[in-house]
Structure 1
């Protein structure tokens, strides 16, 4: 069996890099991106701010206090989405198999393409093409599986590359902090630290049963990653990958207000499903089927998001564009496509920390009591239909 060759590509401080590409006066200066009010949240920050203790997800007020000389920029998801698509298009042209993990991160399966050195040469050429055509810095890690490749990328940053051959995997991992292991969050890190486990080498010496007992169901996977084992496949990425829902009425309808409420309720439900899968969407489609069975759709590319209030606004606007008020409606539908995994920080440029907490609270209620338990007021009338 051939050794797998997995390439992990990650755009360095992506949002900051896009801003610097658009305005080179920002180069080498501390930059914080996010909501600009005191209640805003840091979505991204440059390397120059990190020695001051600034990190993504931090309240903007605190970040300004820690690094008062930092330049504050309100994020522009239109631009970030545009550059993300540029990079993905380049990868799609070159790669035999790739998976878009997030707006700024891709995995490629290069197994069988060439000998290991040849694969490294190909990866370097791809990286140089991305830098040349997008203008953005990007780092990569190349190794035998996703986890090691991702860790290698982290060690290669900023704007670097690192190959970890099969025989180098364990020596490479051994001295690194357990925090470097994908899937080890703050809580798991603190738990392992209390056991005296600081490095990946130390974690390897702990029996897997004990790691599972301490970390729960994810423990065995973490232990395997510490041993350089990760069979997770690179899943083919398709722009058309989507989620959607439709509703066929028992009686054809012409009530515009009610139809909009139904569209809003469907969109809200899909957005919750999207967040449950930790994904964001870059395209919304609204579908209408009339009484004579004619079917019409309207879609719109949007900046990546997973938030109800943004998606509902787009869906309602699309409905108004596609709906012919002179005809009765038999069916309506909503679909989200161009899905990728995405952090909530993608949506924080205008949202306050209170809004973030509100979404978390609403989703917690839905998880506990069912997705039907709470809805926005504009969708409530759907229960009377």
Structure 2
């Protein structure tokens, strides 16, 4: 799920180095399907969509070698990989596996911040019991493999930004450590589009300004970044120096819960958009359930190919009661504005209006996610 970074200025005091681990499951949805169906193992698999329409929600590594990626229209994916096997998503199964994985996390620290079903931050700073964060990350990965027959990659560093970057370095089934000594230089050669917190639209704006890499970003003054990017400019100034003051926050007060995705090819039909909304609704509902919150307002965000952005919202007299209802409302809102000849380059779903009466009581197990 998308999260907006806490924005800290360059003069904020930095505490003692933390021990942050970012765990990211490898091709999660597709790997679960390959695990559960031996006939799919070693073959290019796309979860979601179909050869005729829709959007790929996840792709196996065998499919990725052909250029197939998540959020890609299924027609394009099928052209890139004629032998691609399309599989319908099973979100109940993915949530169950995610709960297994979070149970493992809970054995090591109470400071776990899930980003989605397949990734999370862990703060191990005060929970190492004499071990190193790297050793704990290796142990967690081994337990995930043993208990779920799936692989996970891990990044270990002194802040969230670098830990997430690190987890992507040696995928699949890899581990990368970025030390405080290495962190400031690690970001210099990376394209800004690889930075967590810099989306495709912002990366394009930066590139138009001649900011291609972390080194280019570091060369900009705080004043210039703030003038061009507002409050986010401070965050960009910091991360170009390997600085990130955000804490791992398992419990945070929210006014809304949302997820969005920018697509590599514009969505031209209502059917494509309806398919693309399913994984977004799953992310939003998973987060709402985890935080024991129910909202009455569903908002659909659409950004067209010409970058015009619109929102449509509906507020109910009672809280949204289920993921299918959330998805249905989002699809109904989409039908009021799509199809559009410009095509949709981004879709988002937000759940809000969390009144005190909208909180739900759920039977939580030790690990916190009943979904």
TM class by shorter-chain length? 0.5 to 0.7
Deviation digits for residues 95-148 of structure 1 (CA, Å, limit 9, x no counterpart)? 242111211111111113349962211221122111111111101101011110
- How far apart are the structure 2 equivalents of 1:204 and 1:145? 18
Tell me: CA distance 1:283–1:102, structure 2 relative to 1, closer, same or farther (3 Å). closer
1:24 counterpart = 2:1: no
Q: How far did residue 166 of structure 1 move? A: 0.6
- How far apart are the structure 1 equivalents of 2:337 and 2:184? 39
The answer to whether the 8 A contact 2:51-2:78 is kept is no
1:47 counterpart = 2:65: no
Q: How far did residue 217 of structure 1 move? A: 3.1
Which of the residues 172, 195, 201 maps onto 1:181? 195
1:78 counterpart = 2:99: no
Aligned residue in 1 for 2:79:
65
- How far apart are the structure 1 equivalents of 2:186 and 2:56? 32
Aligned residue in 2 for 1:202:
216
Aligned residue in 1 for 2:335:
358
Q: How far did residue 60 of structure 1 move? A: 1.3
- How far apart are the structure 2 equivalents of 1:355 and 1:19? 30
Aligned residue in 2 for 1:89:
103
Gaps of 5+ in 2: 1-14, 257-279, 300-316, 339-345, 354-371
Q: How far did residue 167 of structure 1 move? A: 0.6
The answer to whether the 8 A contact 1:98-1:237 is kept is no
The answer to whether the 8 A contact 1:146-1:232 is kept is yes
Which of the residues 225, 240, 245 maps onto 1:231? 245
- How far apart are the structure 1 equivalents of 2:255 and 2:224? 39
Deviation digits for residues 212-267 of structure 1 (CA, Å, limit 9, x no counterpart)? 323333222122112111111111259xx999xxxxxxxxxxxxxxxxxxxxxxxx
Aligned residue in 2 for 1:144:
158
- How far apart are the structure 2 equivalents of 1:83 and 1:103? 9
Q: How far did residue 359 of structure 1 move? A: 8.0
Aligned residue in 2 for 1:378:
none
Tell me: CA distance 1:147–1:112, structure 2 relative to 1, closer, same or farther (3 Å). same
Aligned residue in 1 for 2:115:
101
The answer to whether the 8 A contact 2:217-2:236 is kept is no
- How far apart are the structure 2 equivalents of 1:23 and 1:158? 20
Q: Which has the higher helix share?
A: 1
- How far apart are the structure 2 equivalents of 1:89 and 1:117? 20
Q: How far did residue 6 of structure 1 move? A: 0.8
**Where do 4+ consecutive residues of structure 1 move more than 6 Å?**
353-356
The answer to whether the 8 A contact 1:5-1:116 is kept is no
Deviation digits for residues 62-103 of structure 1 (CA, Å, limit 9, x no counterpart)? 211222111111111121111111111111133242111211
Q: How far did residue 52 of structure 1 move? A: 3.3
Task: Give the CA RMSD over aligned residues.
Answer: 3.9
Tell me: CA distance 1:359–1:84, structure 2 relative to 1, closer, same or farther (3 Å). farther
Tell me: CA distance 1:116–1:152, structure 2 relative to 1, closer, same or farther (3 Å). farther
The answer to whether the 8 A contact 2:108-2:127 is kept is no
The answer to whether the 8 A contact 1:137-1:159 is kept is yes
- How far apart are the structure 2 equivalents of 1:217 and 1:116? 39
Tell me: CA distance 1:9–1:172, structure 2 relative to 1, closer, same or farther (3 Å). same
- How far apart are the structure 1 equivalents of 2:69 and 2:26? 15
SS at match of 2:30: helix
Tell me: CA distance 1:116–1:9, structure 2 relative to 1, closer, same or farther (3 Å). farther
The structure with more radius of gyration: 1
- How far apart are the structure 2 equivalents of 1:91 and 1:182? 22
The answer to whether the 8 A contact 2:19-2:156 is kept is yes
SS at match of 1:9: strand
Aligned residue pairs: how many? 280
Which of the residues 281, 286, 296 maps onto 1:281? 286
Deviation digits for residues 306-329 of structure 1 (CA, Å, limit 9, x no counterpart)? 989xxxxxxxxxxxxxxxxxxxxx
The answer to whether the 8 A contact 1:12-1:159 is kept is yes
Tell me: CA distance 1:158–1:237, structure 2 relative to 1, closer, same or farther (3 Å). farther
Q: How far did residue 191 of structure 1 move? A: 1.4
TM-score by length of 2: 0.65
